[in-house]
Amino acid sequence: MRMRKKILSYKNRIDRMLQDPPEDINYEEEQRKHLIQIQFFMHERLVHEIVMVLFALITVMVFLAVVMLEKMILVVLLAALLVLLIPYIMHYYVLENSVQYMYEQYDEMERRKHQAG
């Protein structure tokens, strides 16, 4: 949850900076700092994607085991996996969309940099 809060807070801060830029803004420097943050968030996104895919594969395997073996304990395990998988997918969704949005912010900085000089 902390990462979600951090990424949304950062994204909003950049939006505010773009809406009301300081007079002495250096878009090149802002882009450099923004790219560093994008790299951090992309790393986080990649790690979450790998874990989410593995978790989803385990969930599918347990589902298949439930269908084939008809053991009640596996149904409990499947329910637990689904309860954990759904919030994980939602978290990944926020990461993915936020990083994509940051690309657009970067492009806006690039446009403004070329307009200014």
Residue-by-residue DSSP string for the chain: -HHHHHHHHHHHHHHHHHHS--TT--HHHHHHHHHHHHHHHHHHHHHHHHHHHHHHHHHHHHHHHHHHH--HHHHHHHHHHHHHHHHHHHHHHHHHHHHHHHHHHHHHHHHHHHHH-
Inform me whether the pLDDT recorded for 117 exceeds 90: no
Inform me whether the pLDDT recorded for 55 exceeds 70: yes
Q: How confident is the model at residue 10 (pLDDT cuts 50, 70, 90)?
A: very high
CA dist 43 → 22, 26, 32 (Å): 30, 26, 17
Whether the predicted model's global pTM rises above the 0.85 cut: no
Q: In this predicted structure, what is the pLDDT of residue 116?
A: 79
